A = this chain, B = another copy of it.
Amino acid sequence: MRQSQLFTKTQKEFPKGEISRNAQLLIRAGFIDKLMAGVYTLLPLGLRVHKKIENIIREEMNKLGAQEIFMPSLQPKENWEQTGRWKTMDDLYKVIDISGREMALGPTHEEIVSPLVKKFVNSYKDLPFAVYQFQNKFRMELRSKSGILRGREFIMKDLYSFHLDEKSLDEFYEKVKEAYFNIFSRVGLKEKTYLTFASGGSFSRYSHEFQTVTLAGEDIIYVCEKCALAINKEIKGETSKCPVCGGEKFREEKAIEVGNIFKLKNKYSHPFDLSVTDQKGEKKEVVMGCYGIGLGRLLGTIVEVYNDEKGILWPETVAPFQVHLIEVPSENPEVKKTAEEVYTELEKKGREVLYDDREVSAGEKFADADLIGIPYRVVISEKSLAKGGVEVKKRSEEKSQIMKLEELIKVLTM
């Protein structure tokens, strides 16, 4: 894409009161715009990153054999009364229809997916299976000071699984753990993300969170020095030993919860009478699991982990473009000509290129490139041409390198 066509611009300023590093950088670089506290627009650059994350997650969900669906945000009050959460869930947005009918704006979808599945499932033969969606969630957050880490409106991937018994749930749950590690690894957070024991609520001893260590984190976790599992502070009192290896030494860290997985068991199948006939002809309540990842939060976490004083450093897998091509303004027509050539050639080979063809100074272009944070910067200037080629630099490295045009194409399209 030609940068001159991009309707957004980088900014020196960001909205007052925006104290989080992720939102400051994402707003200044033109990835997101703040509409109000906890509510953001995804701009072209931000949507590109968001979709890359979405596609990575979708691939891992499909590998699990899960089926994608799309459930509504407008949800009948009756469904929420059935589980008792109409009154107990503090962050539920409520809407009144023209007829006076009350509805919830979905913060999650157990109340919808359970009666939905009930319509199709009768026998143990119909189990196990899992459905997932990417869907806008609404949560009336009291504090929304963490940029896109804690939104009032955000896209979530929510996966729900349905089983005949706990053994089947346990097996699938382990597979989801693996899928989640694949996802966090693919988006660049492998080293910093820990499987963390957290409270299971009323229906299970533990649940599991995936916590990414960063100073921006709102959670405190204790990482076991022996096995690298972690415990959330909320249950640290209950157990002084690591529940996995028995280790007793822990490192305290601030962390962001980037994913969570729950064994719901019959918590939602019970109120909706979601049951099947088992092999013996007996009625059995379906056993459920649920598994979430907030995409905005994951995007924000990547920015918290990958930034320096100049801007963002996107991992290649989620970068909005792979190459930032910079044409340094020059009287020499050869510069523009070469830049156009490189642009055409790289795009033809399927690379995503942001081509800075704007009529602004080289200094401004370099500063913007650092702020936006595309992994490879390719500069075409009189100087680079005189040295026989183009200048290539990784965003994460200080040193640049002169390459011949053919060499560049080869390296960048491998």
Using a CB–CB distance below 8 Å, which chain A residues touch chain B? 5-9, 33, 35-36, 39-44, 47, 50, 65, 67-76, 91, 93-98, 105, 112, 116-117, 119-121, 126, 129, 131, 136, 138, 140, 142, 152-153
Contact = CB atoms under 8 A, between A and B. Distances in A.
A64 to B, nearest CB: 12
Nearest to A48: B68
A75 B7 contact: no
A179 to B, nearest CB: 18
A42 B44 CA distance: 26
Contacts of A76: 35-36
A142 B97 CA distance: 10
B75 A47 contact: no
Given A42-B69, A74-B152, A136-B136, A7 B120 contact: yes
Contact of A121 (B7, B116, B152): B7
A134 to B, nearest CB: 10
Contacts of A120: 7-9
A364 to B, nearest CB: 16
B93 A7 contact: no
Given A39-B74, A69-B41, A69-B44, A7 B129 contact: yes
A402 to B, nearest CB: 34
B73 A47 contact: no
B69 A116 contact: no
Contact of A7 (B40, B70, B98, B126): B126
A205 to B, nearest CB: 29
Given A35-B112, A44-B69, A93-B95, A7 B136 contact: no
B116 A72 contact: no
Contact of A47 (B43, B69, B97, B98): B69
Contacts of A121: 7
Contact of A112 (B41, B50, B129, B136): B41
A140 B33 contact: no
B98 A142 contact: yes
A35 B95 contact: no
Nearest to A4: B125
B35 A75 contact: yes
B72 A153 contact: yes
Contacts of A96: 94
A380 to B, nearest CB: 23
Contacts of A44: 67-69, 131
Contacts of A129: 5, 7
A94 B44 CA distance: 28
Contacts of A75: 35
Give me the 9 closest cross-chain CB pairs, A-B, nearest first: A42-B70, A44-B67, A39-B72, A41-B71, A7-B129, A98-B140, A74-B153, A39-B74, A72-B153
Contacts of A93: 95, 97
B41 A70 contact: yes
B131 A74 contact: no
24 contacts: A5-B65, A6-B67, A7-B67, A7-B117, A35-B71, A35-B76, A41-B72, A41-B112, A41-B116, A42-B69, A42-B70, A44-B67, A47-B68, A47-B69, A47-B70, A73-B73, A74-B138, A74-B153, A94-B95, A95-B95, A97-B152, A98-B140, A98-B142, A136-B136
Contacts of A140: 97-98
A389 to B, nearest CB: 32
A39 B76 CA distance: 10
A121 B7 CA distance: 8
A272 B6 CA distance: 22
